[in-house]
Amino acid sequence: MRLSSVAALGCLAVPEALAWGGFGHITIAYIASNFVQPQTTDYFQTLLRNDTGDYLANVATWADSVRYMKWAHFTGVFHFIDAKDDPPYNCTVELDRDCKEEGCVVTAIGNYTSQILDPTIPAWLRAQAAKFVVHFVSDIHQPLHDEDVAKGGNGIHVLWEGAELNLHHVWDSSIAEKWVGGVEKRPYAEAKEWAANITGKIQHGEFKAQSKAWLDVLPEGPTAIEGQELSGDYYEKAAPVIELQVARAGFRLAAWLDLIVAALKLEDEL
């Protein structure tokens, strides 16, 4: 699978920190589980040693867990790409310009996909690579993980129900959790329910008319919301956009995993 294909995946997403929060990542994994082909399910259940329907959801946040361990510190930069553009007037990602020398989410998806496809790599390392791919394909769909402005929104201070937060956290967790009525500390049940709801919407074509809708949330640029309360009108505009991005991430993750398994099958037949 060529890296150019990975770059194209990144371009399909709308634009340093964790992405989506655990709830979003787990939801995206469940959506992907709902759309992958049966042979893809079989392959990754075997690779990840989990024959339940939670085989992707259970590894969805693993990359966030290990990034703070000494052996995995180098993976921190793989969770994002800092697009040096000028939203909302110019929203572009250029790999040569925006990807750090040590890597970014686009190159990480390419690298770990290549590892899954390499039969000479031990199974435990290919399983580790699969966990990274599941997470990073999710990350690239969080708009603020593809943006350099104020460190992906971490430097934009806002209010959420009276509490001081940054914009990145609000997009990662606060909006999605409010959208579904709140979540537990281990949000697997809520994530599975939201994923089922989104899966139905995808199957009925309810997201087709929402291309580039995220731009409507920041029509005057990101700094216009500095210090503002976002749990009211802003939330009402942003929540459907976040659901759209979660839907895209889950559907595209399924397609990506299907391509991996198809490539492996083709190699076996040659």
Q: What is the pLDDT of residue 183?
A: 83
- Phi/psi of residue 215, nearest 5 degrees: -65, -25
Catalytic positions: 20, 25, 64, 67, 79, 135, 139, 145, 168, 172
Q: Which residue has the higher pLDDT, 158 or 51?
A: 51
Domain residue limits, the chain: 3-269
Residue 63 to residues 1, 40, 79, 240: CA-CA distances in angstroms? 22, 21, 9, 26
Please compute the mean of the pLDDT values over residues 157-170 and round it to a whole number: 87
For the segment 211-248, what is each residue's pLDDT rounded down to a tens digit? 555 445 555 566 677 888 999 988 998 899 899 999 99
- Phi/psi of residue 163, nearest 5 degrees: -90, 145
For the segment 34-80, what is each residue's pLDDT rounded down to a tens digit? 999 999 999 999 999 999 999 999 999 999 999 999 999 999 999 98
Q: Could you write out the three-class secondary structure of 43-104?
A: HHHHHCCCCCCCCCHHHCCHHHHHCCCHHHHHHHHHHCCCCCCECCCECCCCHHHHCECCEC
In CATH terms, the fold of domain 3-269 is: P1 Nuclease (1.10.575)
- Phi/psi of residue 54, nearest 5 degrees: -95, 15
DSSP classification of residue 158? E
Q: What is the pLDDT of residue 53?
A: 97
